Amino acid sequence: MSVLTFKGGVHPYSGKEYTKNKAIDEYFPENGLFVIPLSQHIGSPATPIVKVGDRVLVNQKIGEASGFISANVHSSVSGIVKAIDNRKVANGNKVPCIIIENDGLYEKTNSMDNENYLEFSKEEKLELIKEAGIVGMGGAGFPTHVKLSPPKPENIDYIIVNGAECEPYLTSDYRRMLENPEIIVEGLKIVLSLFDNAKGIIAVEDNKLDAIVRLRKCVSKENNIEVKTLFTKYPQGGERSLIYATTKRCLDSSKLPADIGCIVHNIDTIYAIYNAVVKNLPLTTRVVTITGDAVRYPGNYIVPVGADIKQFIDDTGEFKDKAEKIISGGPMMGMALHDLNIPVTKGTSAILMFKKDEVSACKPSNCINCGRCVNACPSRIIPSRLAKAADKNNEDEFLKLNGLECIECGSCSYICPAKRQLTQSIKTMKKNILSNKRK
C-alpha cells in the first residue's frame, strides 16, 4: 500500500503520546454558567429563540439559523436562561451568546432514533443535518449542510474524511477512529448516499496504524469506501494537501473543493452527521484534547459546547505548573488565549497548555535567505519575500508573489532559523487585502 503525501511541509514534534492512549472520557460539569455563542460558524449569527428566564433542556434549539450560510444552535445543558449578551470567545472578539445556568440535571428533550433512516430521501437527510446545527469542526466552522449542497451534486466524485490529524498534540480524531470506527463508516455512508457518483475516502496518517486497521476492518464489505494511508507530515490534513494526496487534484484559492469534485469532512463532523441522521440528535458536544507539559492529567474528553474553559481545565486536566501559554486548537494553527473565561465551542479541538512559550523565547533576526520556508510552504510561494512585502505594506508585490494563496498553515514560521514571524505578517496582509476588496 502506497503512502500518499504532498510537496512541502514540516515535521514538528508530535507530542501525541501524552493523550494517545487515553480513552475518550465524558465531562459534564454539575454547576456553573454555560455560555453558548450564537456564532460558532462562518456566516451570520443565529437568532436567539429563547428568552431570559426560560428553562431550556439539553438538545433544545435556542438559536435559529438566520441566513443561507448560518447554523442552528442548541443547548448542551438544562437550566434557566440567565442572559443573552455579548461575550468574549477564543479569538478575542465579543459575540452574542446565550448564558444558561446549569442545573446539573442534563434533562433532555424527547427524541427518538430514526430507525428507518436508510429509507429517508436525500432532502430529508440534509434537513436533519441542517436542523442539527452541524458545522465543520476543524475550527473554521463552515455550515455542513451548505457544504453538502453544492450546485451540482452529481459532479462530486469523492467524499474525503479527514483523519490525518496532522496538528501535533491533538488526539481527539484518533480516539474517535479507534473507539467508534463503525460510526465513522456509517456516517460516511450517509453522506455518500446524498451523492450519486461519489466514492468515500477515509484518509489517515501513518502514525495511526491501529486506527487504520480498525477502519479497514469496518470498510471491508463496502465497495465504494477506501481507507488511505497518508505520510505523516504537517499540514497533511490541510484541505488542499489532503485532496492532492488522496486524489491528485489541485486546489487553489480561486476554487472550492466542490469545484474539483471533492468534499472534505472532519472526523467529528462525520460523527455529528451520524448522530443527527440516525439518533436525531443535534450537535451539542465535541471531543476536546487537553494536553501539554503544564497539564497534570492529559486526556480526551467529550465536552458540552458552552462549558467554561477555565472550569474545564480545573475539573479535568488541572494545572501541574504555571502555564505561560494556553492555546485553543493545535500548536500550528490554534489561537493563543489570553483569557480562560471563554466557552468551548463546536470548533474547539484542544486546549494546549505549555509551561514555556517557544515563540517569545526566540527573537527574530535577519532573514538569511536559506530557502527553508520556500521548501516548507505547501502553497509553493515564497514566504520570506511575501513577509517582506507585507511588512512594507507593498500590496502589488504581495499579489505578484501570489500571497493570497497562503493557507496560513504556519510551516514557514515554524521552520525559519532566523525565527521570523512570517505567517503572522502574511496573514495580516492577506486579511487587509481581502477586507479592502470587499469594501
Partner 1 sequence: MSDLLNVSSNPHVRDKNSTSSIMLDVIIALLPTTIFGIYNFGYRAFIVIMLTIISCVLSEFLYQKCMKTDITIKDFSAVVTGLLLALNLPYDIPYWMAIIGGIFAIIIVKQLFGGIGQNFMNPALAARCFLLLSFGTNMTVFTYDSITGATPLKVIRDTGSFDLYKMFIGTTAGTIGETSAIAILIGGIYLLAKRVIDIRIPFAYLAVFSLFILFFGNEKFDIYYLALQLCGGGIMLGAFFMATDYVTSPITSRGRWIFGALLGILTGIFRVFGPNAEGVSFAIIFCNLLVPLIEKITIPKPFGYVSKKKEAKNE
Q: Residue numbers of the site for ligand SF4 (CB under 6 A)? A: 367-373, 376-379, 381, 383-384, 406-412, 415-418, 420, 422-423, 426
Among 266, 372, 387, 390, binds partner 1 (CB under 8 A): 372
How many Å apart are CA 346 and CA 133, to the nearest integer?
Answer: 10
Residues numbered 272-311 forming contacts with partner 1, rule: CB under 8 A: none
Shortest spacing between CB 402 and ligand SF4, in angstroms: 10
With CB under 8 A as the contact rule, which of the stretches 94-102, 115-123, 263-271, 380-388 interacts with partner 1?
A: 380-388
327 counts as binding partner 1 under rule CB under 8 A: yes
Binding flag, residue 357, partner 1 (CB under 8 A): yes
Backbone angles phi, psi at 62, to 5 degrees: -120, -15
- CB of residue 167 to partner 1, shortest distance in Å: 10
Q: Which residue has the cell 509553493?
A: 380
The answer for residues whose C-beta is within 8 angstroms of residue 94's C-beta and 6 or more apart is 86, 87, 88
Helix (H, G, I), strand (E, B) or coil at 265: strand
Indicate the residue among 30 and 339 with the shorter CB distance to partner 1: 339
Binding mask 139-178 for partner 1 (x = CB under 8 A): -----------------------------x----------
Give me the least distance between CB of 375 and ligand SF4, in Å please: 9
Rounded CA-CA distance 106/307 in Å is 13
> Cα-flanking dihedrals φ and ψ of residue 287, to 5°?
-90, 130
List the single partner that 338 binds among partner 1, ligand SF4, none, CB under 5 to 8 Å by kind: partner 1
CA atoms of 399 and 169, how far apart (whole Å) = 34
List the x/- string, 388-417, binding to partner 1 by CB under 8 A: ------------xxx--x--x-xx-xxxxx
Residue 140 Cβ, how far from ligand SF4 at the closest point, in Å? Answer: 15
Stretch that binds partner 1, among 18-26, 181-189, 195-203, 323-331 (CB under 8 A): 323-331
Pick the closer one to ligand SF4 by CB: 97 or 333.
333
Contacts of 155 (CB under 8 A, 6+ apart): 197, 258, 261
User: Which of ligand SF4, partner 1, none lies near 244, with the C-beta cut-off 5 to 8 A by kind?
Assistant: partner 1
CA dihedral of 413, 416, 419, 423, whole degrees rounded to 10: -20
How would you label 120-145 residue by residue, b for 16+ Cβ within 10 Å and e otherwise?
A: beeeebbebbbbbbbbbbbbebbbbb
CA 137 to chain centroid: 4
**Chain centroid, CA 86 distance in Å:** 23
Q: Which does 420 bind (CB under 5 to 8 A by kind): partner 1, ligand SF4, none?
A: ligand SF4
Q: To which residue does cell 450546485 refer?
A: 151
Question: Which of the ranges 82-90, 200-208, 222-230, 336-344 carries the binding residues for partner 1, by CB under 8 A?
Answer: 336-344
